[in-house]
Amino acid sequence: MPNIVILGGGVGGTIVANQVARQMRNELKNGDLSITVITESAQHVYQPMFLYMAFDQVVPADAKKPERELLDRRINLVVGAAERIDAAGNAVWMADGTRIAYDYLVIATGSRPDPEQVPGLTDGGYHFYTEEAALRLRQALHDFQGGRIVVTVGVPHKCPVAPLEFVLMVDDWAKARGIREKTEVVYTYPIGRVHSIATVAEWVEPILDGRGIETHIFFNPETVDPQAQTITSLEGETLRYDLLVAVPPHTGQAVIGRSGLGDSGGWLATDRASLRLQGSDNVFVLGDATNLPISKAGSTAHFEADVVASNLVNLLRGGLGSVRYDGKVFCFIETGLKKATFITFDYANPPTPVEATEMIHLYKLAYNRLYWLTPAGLL
Amino acid sequence: MTEGLKVIDARNSFCPGPLMELIKEIRQEQVGAVMEVWSSDAGSAKDIPEWIRRAGHELLASVAEDGIFKIRVKKLR
Ligand SMILES: Cc1cc2nc3c(=O)[nH]c(=O)nc-3n(C[C@H](O)[C@H](O)[C@H](O)COP(=O)(O)OP(=O)(O)OC[C@H]3O[C@@H](n4cnc5c(N)ncnc54)[C@H](O)[C@@H]3O)c2cc1C
């Protein structure tokens, strides 16, 4: 009986598990196939809510559901930390010493914000990339009475539109609280324009300008001095702040390094079309964990999961597993507290933002509530 | 290909894009490492050398081959 093991019960891993289970219902029922999801936490977390949590629009409970409830009941769920992947031996070793063997492995372990990479950042800055961090920032914003808010961006990071969304939202938020006149909003970006995507940068530059948001390009945070309240870039520029909101640089998960599989950042060398781990026939990688030059986003993980699930089903039925990923990504972009736009692109077609509207914003808020249908494999 | 040269294949990468991919790699490599970033975006031939200069690394080469821009850089700090 073939065993599929999926390491990581985030958006990507959960979709793969449910889609294979749905398409191979009979095999699962008859005991001709087994699917196991291994994940660290019993709760599935919808991370985009952290942005709204920082503005006190939602609370942690809105972002979580038990993973067991989201998985098809025939899928085995193992809640625990994986210690090591033994790719040569086709098995995952758990921290408690258990060995879980596989015929096919899907690695969907995501990424991890790592503020420690920038000396002083943990003490001097805030962010919204984990629940705890978002709650700390929520308190800092709640206590904020005016001053200089500086937003910086570490490389690499997941959700490349989130820093821009934060800056546009914090501008609206300061206006709504009546403290915008006493507040300076400063947005920095690592490369030579205000967003990685040229068309998004061209679209948003006049918006930032019109709202009186100061911008600094070629700004890669190198050190923070929490006493002096300054942040210095590796390009040699120093900015003073009263409130520093710094998207931390990210790394892959420690289990990848412990398994000797990733590069020095913990990212997995992945074929951009087949989504197989390079050099392997039976290991697939998706979502934030890959080294692919595309956005680390839930939508990326979702489109990749569709490809991986189709290939697994095809392989189990005697096919060659040759469905290819075309690089598709879709992202909403909040342009404040009331309007949003969206972009979609793939390896061949660049994105073009459309005019921001209230409808798109309302759709995004609705999606935040409907999200649970995505890991269930329904939306 | 030069021995020890790390290729960063960022062709057809709209987001995060070739320069962000280079910044990511350069941050995780040792001083002295040589890498070459591949881009299908003509803008990279200008942006990437400019960042290399500002960040204090060394631009070793910048060539275009069949619409692919190949920029080679040495990490200095
Ligand atoms: C503030 C914020 C806003 C965002 N907004 C958007 C948005 O608007 N749109 C969008 O598309 N994306 C957005 N994202 C990005 C999105 O959340 C991620 O890209 C997505 O979750 C990646 O999916 P994944 O399946 O690769 O990994 P994750 O969903 O991160 O799942 C990884 C899983 O692996 C498990 N795991 C890791 N290591 C181990 C181990 N050793 N043992 C066992 N289990 C392990 C974890 O517990 C987790 O369940 C946002 C992210 C943040 C933080």
Q: Which pLDDT tens digits describe chain A residue by residue (379 residues)?
A: 999 999 999 999 999 999 999 999 999 999 999 999 999 999 999 999 999 999 999 999 999 999 999 999 999 999 999 999 999 999 999 999 999 999 999 999 999 999 999 999 999 999 999 999 999 999 999 999 999 999 999 999 999 999 999 999 999 999 999 999 999 999 999 999 999 999 999 999 999 999 999 999 999 999 999 999 999 999 999 999 999 999 999 999 999 999 999 999 999 999 999 999 999 999 999 999 999 999 999 999 999 999 999 999 999 999 999 999 999 999 999 999 999 999 999 999 989 889 999 999 999 999 999 999 999 988 8
A296 Cα–ligand 1 center, Å: 9
Q: Where in chain A is the domain with CATH 3.50.50.60?
A: 3-110+253-328, 114-249
Nearest CA to ligand 1 atom 16: A298
Chain B hits for A263, CB-CB cut-off 8 Å, are: 28
How many angstroms from the chain centroid is the CA of residue A56? Answer: 20
Q: What is the pLDDT of residue A379?
A: 86
Nearest to A234 among B16, B29, B55 (CB): B55
A43: how many CB neighbours lie within 10 A of its CB? 15
Domain positions in chain B: 6-74
Residue with tokens 């390094």: A257
Side-chain-facing half-sphere of B29: CA atoms under 13 Å: 23
- Substitution candidate for ligand 1 out of A130, A136, A245, A288 with most atoms within 8 A of CB: A288
Active site residues of B: 15
Ligand 1 near A288 CB (within 6 A): yes
Q: Indicate the helix (H) or strand (E) that contains B11.
A: none
Atom of ligand 1 nearest to the CA of A162: 3
Identify from A117, A164, A191, A223 which residue to disrupt to test chain B contact, counting B C-beta atoms within 10 A and taking the largest count: A191
CATH architecture, domain defined by A114-249: 3-Layer(bba) Sandwich (3.50)
Residue with tokens 């933002």: A353
How many angstroms from the chain centroid is the CA of residue A95? Answer: 25
CATH superfamily of A3-110+253-328: FAD/NAD(P)-binding domain (3.50.50.60)
Helix, strand, coil percent values for chain B (each to nearest 5): 30, 30, 40
CATH superfamily of B6-74: TusA-like domain (3.30.110.40)
pLDDT at B1 over 70: no
A131 Cα–ligand 1 center, Å: 12
Distant-in-sequence, close-in-space partners of A44: CB < 8 Å, separation ≥ 6: A9, A10, A14, A64, A65, A66, A67, A70, A375
Ligand 1 near A12 CB (within 6 A): yes
pTM of the full predicted structure?
0.97
Beta carbons of A105 and A5 less than 8 angstroms apart: yes
Q: What is the pLDDT of residue B3?
A: 60
A10 Cα–ligand 1 center, Å: 6
CA distance A199 to A353: 7
pLDDT range class, residue B4, cuts 50, 70, 90: confident
Q: Indicate the helix (H) or strand (E) that contains A3.
A: strand A3-7
Ligand 1 near A163 CB (within 6 A): no
What's the N-to-C CA distance of chain B in angstroms?
Answer: 24
**CB–CB of A192 and B19 under 8 A?**
yes
Look at residues A350, A189, A375 and name the one whose alpha carbon lies nearest to residue A287: A375
Amino acid of residue B67? G
Q: What is the pLDDT of residue B2?
A: 54
Ligand 1 near A296 CB (within 6 A): yes
Q: Does B39 touch chain A (CB under 8 A)?
A: no
Q: Which pair of tokens denotes residue A10?
A: 């985030």
What's the burial of A184, exposed, middle or buried (CB within 10 Å: 0-12/13-18/19+)? Answer: middle
Residue of chain A nearest B10, judged by CA positions: A293
Chain A hits for B19, CB-CB cut-off 8 Å, are: 190-192, 196
Q: Which pair of tokens denotes residue B11?
A: 């062709």
Chain A hits for B20, CB-CB cut-off 8 Å, are: 155-156, 190-191, 196
Distant-in-sequence, close-in-space partners of A207: CB < 8 Å, separation ≥ 6: A168, A335
Span B32-70, pLDDT tens digits = 999 999 999 999 999 999 999 999 999 999 999 999 999
Q: What does DSSP assign to residue A277?
A: B
Q: What is the pLDDT of residue A212?
A: 98
Nearest to B15 among A155, A197, A236 (CB): A197
CA distance A18 to A368: 20
Q: What is the pLDDT of residue A378?
A: 87
Chain B hits for A264, CB-CB cut-off 8 Å, are: 28-29
